Structure 1
């Protein structure tokens, strides 16, 4: 039935039916309640209250209607009818030429396997009708056996899965205003939708779904975004708000503006709305941050792991990366063809240093990234993962091709040129690396870590040690190995201070890992020999010769 195109049910209803059937054949139908369905199938929190949230009642009613429509459509082609009687969540099976099984008689596989002496007691009230009961029981056994055979043949292709979160959905409120202001507002809304469509972290809809239609992706949360766009002779201004449609709570709001300079009005509008799209759906955008925070409160497999990886990668958070790694590995067992999961897992393997430390891990990262590209050739994140995996295996030129492809697919994501620029720079292509870092810098409120590190390394390479130190201080993070090396080297060039010992303390290596020299650490990250020499020279002037560094977090 699940594979039949005539069964017009949503993914949510298919998952619900699969769950009810699974519980029936496990002999647990008696334990299935609205609360357990809400938690196990719809991903509701443990604080779910069936009395105040009718989701289970509504969705079961819709599934019941979908089943009835299916059996009416297929007619005699299907010999077994599956029904959901009102009043409980126990599926009933009936042969096409027999009446439905009475709702008060439920035969589970556990009961069918009883020995003769363990027969279920029959109340005395029905004893005079033993012959009729025997006939009904025979029909039940036959129907259940047939259902079991069908179930076992289908379950291999549609195994029961845990609740898997999906990417969130942004619904852009379409303005209803008329006249010149209304036209300006609609143009702004259209371009915002276009800009958001470049980001694979979210799905974007342009109107509120009709009543009864679930517009969000299965398991994904929906956010409503409204904007008010205003134009004056001197500036363009956009005011925005993100609302939770279930609670009507305003989650985030803000205002952005851009001065009208030599650019035409259209260019100013596009620049302003591209910045808004990044702040909503970018690597550390509003929606990604809200979803990642929810993942910490209510962990789930699937896209929640992807978002956790996004945030951990952006913040260079070793604990977050370890959690994301475990989460993504488990998700990959259920979603072996999910490009987002595979690409994120490849990036985490590179970021944690596993891929550079182990040829086996490097080969696996490469395999995951290649598969992600094959599954989602229009996803910029797939190519970013491929770029990083290729770089760590030493295939530099191929890595840069993947990075340029990613940048072409999503020219609005500043993280892509920032990451590509850093890899180009550390490999020795200094001018091109700086060029991409400058591209990432344009129009951004906060400069991406990799772009800032590229510019700091460029300052150091050019002898601008104070500027390099200032940038490194702005990036200070105990887990950021290269930034701390750069801080010590810049301080050494300027003259040792107390900051040197502070940076050394922040480079204490993980007890579970093997320490290696600065030269080895930087070489493992693909740094060019002349750049390593410059950094080691600064460390020597700071009084540090062979400092062991940690390799549990990557830049």
Structure 2
């Protein structure tokens, strides 16, 4: 039976958990990471948590002398970040069934311990945190969203911790005038914001652990058991040990290190299940793993080689469909390197390969979407419902909206811990208001519903970017642009190169008037993903329009491929009118009225609810009036 909230995890179980972690592949090859983790855990068990500071760690773990200054020497902060990442990777893969988990929260070097028999992270010998009884009510959520986080990171932890939360309260006016200080506040607002949210995360984590291991058991399960709970959330990828591409056996260490780095980069994306490094190095082939675990699904295999050629490193990678053995993708990267830059270079190349394969709209997702394209919505898995949602976001079609909403509602019922499904459902439901798609009389306030669902998704997976994107969209429609941009910035911190995140963030900055920040983000999104939904180009077209560059504006507006989206015709109408093309402008006005006969009477409201800066609204109104759209004056 689970122990009460007043009980602490026995030290013996924590010692066992520590030894399992230190024996894992991510730690056993690094004496410094082992010393770091062993020191902070043992100090905590000894009741000396208050002594665990950068100075003490530097002296005891890294053999620095008494002159050590954490502001000048970042060794502790750097290795703390590496230890956190190794812990995260271990518990996502080979340690998924461990009965007790060790974490080191950002902003501190003091470890916390979590187990399925214990209701929350605990310090040994200190009463556990009271379990969170349930998600907040809608009013409580709305209040919590406007609170600030008072727990700042320690100065020597700043580079590893997320930027601090927005410290100024929301502006009373929904469209504060844009400025560089405003931009700075936006870009700083990316930390999780409320203690209640943290409590919800802890509850969900405990619930997930209980579901995986059983309330009264602390035994380790075979790999197949720990993977089965999440099989509906994405395909499974096995990374084979990358081969040493030289004839020098001494270079094996470089290939092995890159394999571990690549697995570490891949596991940060939650839409693909990646087997851990221990599994890869133990079995070394898909056939060997299938023989050992016949019920374990393997959908894709990634293999390759690492070669050192003079002063260059070359990494070649190939993705294979495990069922058909068809080659799906390959890439080769060659870069200059030195001994001092080898680690960073290895990380950069691993991140590049990981993004190409498993980010949204990446190689694996496109392949999975192709397989699911012809299947009826009722036959789709939870993950395939998410893929169908991404298809909907690219096309914004009302019929597809209804199918996706039904599919996602079924998905969250079947898998209530699937955070991305909750986030996608929030965004789809919001479109009942945002786009007028398939409104239901049973839900008079879809935006409020979307807020609850997005906050639930963030509580379930605060380190997933999609829940923060959903929260960003909700706040945007609630005319809370500061909170919206803060949420999108948090998503970008979690996935700095995600094209959809860059596009949404660029849209927000641009529409509130910070074009210099916003437009480059949208352009980068299209550079990284040319298939990015075309309607973001309306923002770029508007940017050129307000600056009098009508030819450039028209070129962007004509690339928008959403004919049923009224704002695409608004953009064309105003551009044609200002450029003197009256017949073209009149044609676009007819399209506007076809889609919404009352649009002229409500255009100001439509633009204001999108948080568009007043000077931009004035320029838009001038253009559509010249095009012939009847717009009330004043």
Give yes or no for TM over 0.5: yes
| Rg larger in structure | 1
SS of residue matched to 1:477: coil
Aligned-pair distance for 1:187?
A: 4.9
Pick closer, same or farther for the CA change 1:545–1:281 going to 2, 3 Å: farther
Distance of aligned partners of 1:526 and 1:185 in 2 relative to their CA distance in 1, 3 Å threshold: same
2:255 and 2:584 mapped to 1: Cα distance?
A: 52
**Alignment partner, residue 377 of structure 1:** 462
Structure 2 match to 1:290: 367
Query: Residues 101-112 of structure 1: matches in 2 within 5 Å?
Result: none
1:338 is matched with which residue: 418, 421, 437?
Answer: 418
Distance 1:530 1:450 in 2: 22
> Cα deviations across residues 210-266 of structure 1 (Å, max 9, x unaligned)?
52426867xxx722233456677899876544322122233x224465787999777
2:233–2:272 contact (8 Å) kept in structure 1:
no
Most deviating of 387-396 and 456-465: 456-465
Aligned pairs for 1:71-220 (under 5 A) are 165-177=232-244, 179=248, 185-205=255-275, 206=277, 207=280, 208=286, 209-213=289-293
Alignment match, 1:247:
324
Give the 3-state SS of the residue equivalent to 1:384 in structure 2: helix
Alignment partner, residue 404 of structure 2: 324
Is 1:226 aligned with 2:303? yes
In structure 2, distance between residues paired with 1:460 and 1:191: 46
Q: CA RMSD in A?
A: 3.9
- CA gap 1:496/1:334 in 2 versus in 1, 3 angstroms: same
Alignment partner for residue 308 of structure 1, among 370, 388, 393? Answer: 388
Superposition map of 1:378-417 within 5 A: 378-417=463-502
Deviations 1:366-397 (A, max 9, x none): 00001111111111111111111122122222
CA change 1:305–1:441 in 2 (3 A) is closer
Task: Provide the secondary structure at the position in 2 that maps to 1:211.
Answer: helix
* Aligned equivalents of 1:545, 1:237: Cα separation in 2: 62
Q: 2:608 maps to what in 1?
A: 523
Distance in structure 2 (CA, Å) of the matches to 1:397 and 1:491: 33
From 427, 447, 452, the equivalent of 1:367 is 452
Q: Which runs of 5+ in 1 are unaligned?
A: 1-162, 548-555
Report if the CA contact (8 A) 1:441-1:451 is conserved: no
Q: Residues 175 and 336 from structure 1, CA distance in 2 versus in 1: closer, same or farther, beyond 3 angstroms?
A: closer
Structure number with higher relative contact order (C-alpha < 8 Å, ≥ 6 residues apart): 2
8 Å contact kept, 2:356–2:362: yes
- Looking at structure 2, the residues matched to 419 and 520 of structure 1 have their Cα atoms a distance apart, in angstroms, of 21
Give the distance between the partners of 2:552 and 2:334, measured in 1 at CA. Answer: 28
Q: Quick check: 2:485–2:509 contact (8 Å CA) kept in 1?
A: yes
1:514–1:487 CA distance, 2 compared to 1 (3 A): closer
| Displacement of 1:308 | 0.9
Aligned to 1:473: 558
Task: Give the 3-state SS of the residue equivalent to 1:469 in structure 2.
Answer: helix
What is the CA deviation profile of residues 39-96 of structure 1, one whole-angstrom value per residue up to 9, with x for unaligned ones?
A: xxxxxxxxxxxxxxxxxxxxxxxxxxxxxxxxxxxxxxxxxxxxxxxxxxxxxxxxxx
Q: Contact 2:395–2:533 (CA<8 Å) still a contact in 1?
A: no
Provide closer, same or farther for how the CA distance between residues 411 and 236 of structure 1 changes in structure 2, counting only shifts above 3 A. Answer: same
Distance in 2, matches of 1:444 and 1:266, equals: 28
Separation (CA, whole Å) in 1 of partners of 2:562 and 2:308: 41
Deviation, 1:165, is 3.4
Contact 2:305/2:317 (<8 A) preserved:
yes
Report the CA distance between 1:203 and its aligned residue.
Answer: 1.9
Tell me whether 189-198 or 463-472 shows the greater mean CA deviation.
Answer: 189-198
Name the stretch that deviates more: 170-179 or 299-308.
Answer: 170-179
What residue ranges of structure 2 are gaps of 5+ in the alignment? Answer: 1-229, 281-285
C-alpha change, 1:545 and 1:185, in structure 2 (3 Å) is farther
Partners of 2:317 and 2:330 within 8 A in 1 = yes
CA distance in 2, matches of 1:508, 1:248: 53
Q: Which residue of 2 aligns with 1:353?
A: 433
Whole-Å Cα distance in 2 between the matches of residues 171 and 447 of structure 1? 28
Q: Helix, strand or coil: the match of 1:460?
A: helix
Report the Cα offset of residue 328 of structure 1.
0.9
Contact 2:570 2:588 (8 Å CA) reproduced? yes
CA distance in 2, matches of 1:508, 1:216: 56
Deviation digits for residues 111-147 of structure 1 (CA, Å, limit 9, x no counterpart): xxxxxxxxxxxxxxxxxxxxxxxxxxxxxxxxxxxxx
Question: Larger deviation: 501-510 or 295-304?
Answer: 501-510
Say if 1:242 and 1:176 are closer, same or farther in 2 by CA, change over 3 A. Answer: closer
- Indicate the SS of the match to 1:374: helix
Give the Å deviation of 1:442: 6.8
CA distance in 2 between counterparts of 1:235 and 1:466 reads: 45
Partner of 1:114: none
The worse-fitting range, judged by mean Cα deviation, of 380-389 and 427-436 is 427-436
C-alpha displacement at 1:195, in angstroms? 3.1
SS state of the match for residue 491, structure 2?
helix
